[in-house]
Structure 1
Amino acid sequence: MSMSRRVFHVGQHDPLAAPLLAELAIEYSSRYGGTPGEVHADLIGYSASHFSPPHGDLLIVVDNGEPVAGGAFQRYDADTAELKRIWTAAGHRRKGLGRFVLDQLEAEIARRGYSRIYLTTGPRQPEAVALYAAAGYTALPRDVRKAVGYVHPFEKYLATGEAAIPA
């Protein structure tokens, strides 16, 4: 990882988010079905306000001018943020970027006053399950009603107070 890594907080239609969402659509369609176009339409089908301040955010990590990773959160309830779309570009995996994005999102979530984080990941994403388990997330009972199959829900409670928020 170079020293030129920067984090940008953007809207879901920002050009920095486009390559990662496009690659995410291809990955999801290859793992779960549907065309990349259908999956991409679903990914960007949320209202922009879902991932915008004050209740949400979308961040993109840029390294040497190239978007290499990203992730988002939206409001789940008054105390809980829901993580969405954590992604690392295929050519940049196994470099700690997923954990870096997760750490950045958790810090922003804490700054926004949430005390809990919730997420679901799919049954065909073992690397995501491993990331969340390693980052201290607790697995919750699986929801077998989801059309995609068994989703893996997780939660994590954040420390509260000024000492919990990184400078």
Structure 2
Amino acid sequence: MRITPVAYDHPDAAKLTDLVQLEYAERYGGEGDVTPLAPGMFSPPSGLFLIAYDERDRPVATGGWRAMDENGENYRDGDAELKRMFVVREARRQGLSRRILALLEEDARQAGRLRMVLETGTKQPEAMALYESSGYTLTEKFGVYRHEPNSRCYAKPLR
């Protein structure tokens, strides 16, 4: 597998983002994650977006981080928020999420961010297991879904 940085609006990123939105809609109903995101949020040095390609150069996994600071939604100054972590079904259970997560954490650390935060939900137990086994702990809720009962927010210090 090859993991490479791409722009958030790259065609392969758009393809995988559409797939993850479909998965969110299947699990939770509705239209998927409605968090407002713009391509510039994932541009270095204040963010990064990665895609993993398989041996046939097909995009199979993605993840990104964006810089967030205190803004009234319970973010803290110095946060890096993990977004759009996703692996297509046929490429799961190969360690891709862990590899992408480690690369994103290191990049955010190098960019001076203080902690990595993420929001997931109770209908994604495999995501919660990944983050908990990677050193993330539950934290105060933040972001668009901070008032939703099925939302779970996690944080991990980067320093």
Report the TM-score range of the alignment, normalised by the length of the smaller protein: 0.7 to 0.9
| Letter of the structure 2 residue corresponding to residue 135 of structure 1 | S
- Equivalent residues of 2:109, 2:158 under 8 A apart: yes
Q: How far does residue 39 in structure 1 lie from its aligned partner after superposition?
A: 3.4
| Letter of the structure 2 residue corresponding to residue 124 of structure 1 | K
For 2:42 and 2:146, locate their aligned partners in 1 and report how far apart those are by CA, in whole Å: 26
Alignment of 1:34-113 (within 5 A): 34=30, 38-39=31-32, 42=34, 45-64=36-55, 65-77=57-69, 78-113=77-112
Question: For each residue in 1:71-100, what CA deviation from the matched residue of structure 2 results, as whole angstroms up to 9, or x when unmatched?
Answer: 011111242101111111111111111111
Q: Which residue of 2 aligns with 1:163?
A: none
Q: Secondary structure at the match of 2:105?
A: helix
TM-score (norm 1): 0.81
Q: Which has the larger radius of gyration?
A: 1
Question: For each residue in 1:34-65, what CA deviation from the matched residue of structure 2 results, as whole angstroms up to 9, or x when unmatched?
Answer: 2xxx438x47x522111112211111111220
Which deviates further from its counterpart, 84-93 or 13-22?
13-22
Question: For each residue in 1:122-165, what CA deviation from the matched residue of structure 2 results, as whole angstroms up to 9, or x when unmatched?
Answer: 12110110000000011125578534x32111110123xxxxxx
Question: Taking every aligned residue pair, what percent have the same amino acid on both sides?
Answer: 38
Q: Secondary structure at the match of 1:108?
A: helix
* Structure 1 unaligned regions, length at least 5: 160-167
Structure 1 stretches of at least 4 aligned residues deviating more than 3 Å after TM superposition: 141-145
Indicate which of 5, 20, 24 corresponds to 2:20: 24
* Structure 2 unaligned regions, length at least 5: 70-76
| 1:7 pairs with 2:3 | yes
- Equivalent residues of 1:142, 1:150 under 8 A apart: no
Number of equivalences: 149
Q: Which residue of 1 aligns with 2:123?
A: 124
For 1:12 and 1:138, locate their aligned partners in 2 and report how far apart those are by CA, in whole Å: 27
Q: Secondary structure at the match of 2:32?
A: helix
| Letter of the structure 2 residue corresponding to residue 87 of structure 1 | F
TM-score (norm 2): 0.84
For 1:51 and 1:133, locate their aligned partners in 2 and report how far apart those are by CA, in whole Å: 24
